[in-house]
Amino acid sequence: MSSSSATADETIEPVENAGDSGIGSLPREIWVLVVGSFIVAVGMGIVAPALPTFATSFGVGVTAASLVISAFALMRLAFAPVSGRLVSFFGERSIYVWGISIVGISTAACAFAGSYWQLLIFRALGGTGSTMFTVSAVALLVRLAPPHLRGRASGVWATSFLLGNISGPIIGGIMVGYSLRLPFVTYGIALFVAAFIGWLMLRKSTLAAPRTDTGVPTMTVGQALRHRAYRAAMLSNFSNGWAVYGVRIALVPLFVVEALRSTQSMAGIALSVFALGNAAVLLLSGRIADKRGRKPLVLIGLAVSGLATASLGVTDSIPWFLAASLIAGVGAGILNPAQNAAVADIIGAKGKGGPVLAAFQMSADFGAILGPLIAGVLADTMSYGAAFAVTGFTAVLGLLAWIGAPETRPATPPRPEPTTEAA
């Protein structure tokens, strides 16, 4: 369905002077966000192979280890509404720097945890800063990216994050051979570097400065939920959080070691292969979403991601597992830029969408909370195959919701017909 056939509540802003080819350049401030995202992602990837194993080193099982992953997401979920209000009150720039700094302090503290419960608490507290960083960064992307380049901006930002995730797990896999605590110290340092770069490069930017009151009311979550595309995006983001930010981090390292009888280093490689497939298509997906629409990319991404994720649990060798991980990463890479651009379309460049962005993020966090817990229980009581199958099925739910949703890509106003002056 095109945006022209949407209901009155689903009207999307037109693109002015944008053409239809997505031609243009991104503001410098977006590239600052890209650099910060890359640094954050490298550190996150370094921690990923160590976190489940570090948790089980305190004598707990798979379910308890998965709870460490879910606790981080739970705090993100609980604090997201507050983050949205903080962004609206203090501006994106300040909350961006403070959010990264809080995660840095929390992560460094994890390195000195003396018990499972200390690790759980320190990791959970980092979720507050993480949601501040995410909401403020996405709000800046929505505000600064031209409407006809939203897919590209989302793709570039996500690509930087995934490139960090490619290299991070490999480094982390090597670090855990020396110490399970070393990755947390390294991640904490990386986060402080990212916070400093953000503060240094954005502090004098007029584009990133807090906006004066323009009289445009803040879009409420209730208003956004009137859009079928927003409801569908919430569900697909829930599936993405379940699979990518929850189960992938919690179960993949354990599956590689326990079921495939491989090493922690191979677990890091498996995480990097997923990120590689993701990063390989993000930029292309963003460009296609700007030219052809958001909905087709979302549908394809959900289908590919769901099938590949479900197949992870039935692989019986490292090569097949890596192949399925690569395809699952490709599916997520096709999905994310188009999905994020659709939400940005609904908010609009002039809109104040802090609460709407926070709710959208919360849907992924909710999935990241439930995913590891349910998948962990299934792995403990049934099999890893059942855990990955249920994870893949969540993508089917998002796909069904998007089938009935309208296209949100802003309509380009028709060009005026050429005229000739009378002699």
| pLDDT value at 414 more than 50 | no
More confident: 192 or 417: 192
| pLDDT value at 111 more than 50 | yes
Average pLDDT rounded to a whole number, residues 334-342: 85
Across 146-150, 235-239, 344-348, which has the greatest mean pLDDT? 235-239
| pLDDT value at 263 more than 90 | no
Task: Give the tens place of pLDDT for each residue, 273-319.
Answer: 887 887 788 778 878 888 888 888 999 999 998 899 888 888 888 88
Average pLDDT rounded to a whole number, residues 99-114: 89
What's the one-letter identity of residue 194? A
Residue closest to 259 by CA, chosen among 92, 102, 132, 386: 386
> What one-character-per-residue DSSP string does 16-57 give?
SS--SS------HHHHHHHHHHHHHHHHHHHHTTHHHHHHHT
- Residue 374 · residue 239 · CB < 8 Å: no
Q: Is 291 helix (H, G, I), strand (E, B) or coil?
A: helix
- Residue 184 · residue 110 · CB < 8 Å: yes
Task: Give the tens place of pLDDT for each residue, 64-98.
Answer: 887 887 788 778 778 877 887 787 777 778 888 89
Domains within the chain, CATH numbers bracketed: 28-210+219-403 (1.20.1250.20)
| pLDDT value at 20 more than 50 | no
pLDDT of 354 reads: 67
Q: Is 246 helix (H, G, I), strand (E, B) or coil?
A: helix
8-state DSSP, 22:
-
| pLDDT value at 23 more than 80 | no
Distance CA 256, CA 238 (A): 25
Distance CA 348, CA 307 (A): 33
Average pLDDT rounded to a whole number, residues 351-359: 71
Backbone torsion region of residue 418, taken as left when φ is above 0, otherwise alpha when ψ lies between -120 and 50, otherwise beta: beta
Residue closest to 269 by CA, chosen among 323, 330, 191, 316: 323
> What one-character-per-residue DSSP string does 145-213 give?
S-GGGHHHHHHHHHHHHHHHHHHHHHHHHHHTTT-SSHHHHHHHHHHHHHHHHHHHHHTT-SSSSPPP-
Going by pLDDT thresholds of 50, 70 and 90, the confidence category of residue 210 is low
Average pLDDT rounded to a whole number, residues 243-268: 79
pLDDT of 179 reads: 80
Q: Give CA separation, 390 vs 159, 170, 372, in Å.
A: 27, 28, 11
Cβ-count burial 180-191 (b if 16+ within 10 Å, e if not):
bbbbbbbbbebb
Q: Give CA separation, 290 vs 30, 56, 287, 407, in Å.
A: 17, 44, 5, 12
Average pLDDT rounded to a whole number, residues 23-39: 76
Task: Give the tens place of pLDDT for each residue, 159-193.
Answer: 777 777 677 777 777 787 778 888 888 888 888 88
Task: Give the tens place of pLDDT for each residue, 237-254.
Answer: 999 888 887 788 778 888
pLDDT of 349 reads: 54
Q: Is 218 helix (H, G, I), strand (E, B) or coil?
A: strand
Q: What is the number of other CB atoms lying within 10 angstroms of the CB of residue 25?
A: 9
- The pTM of the full predicted model, rounded to 2 decimals, is 0.67
pLDDT of 302 reads: 92
Write down the mean pLDDT value for the chain.
Answer: 78
Distance CA 256, CA 250 (A): 11
Percent of the chain with pLDDT over 70: 84
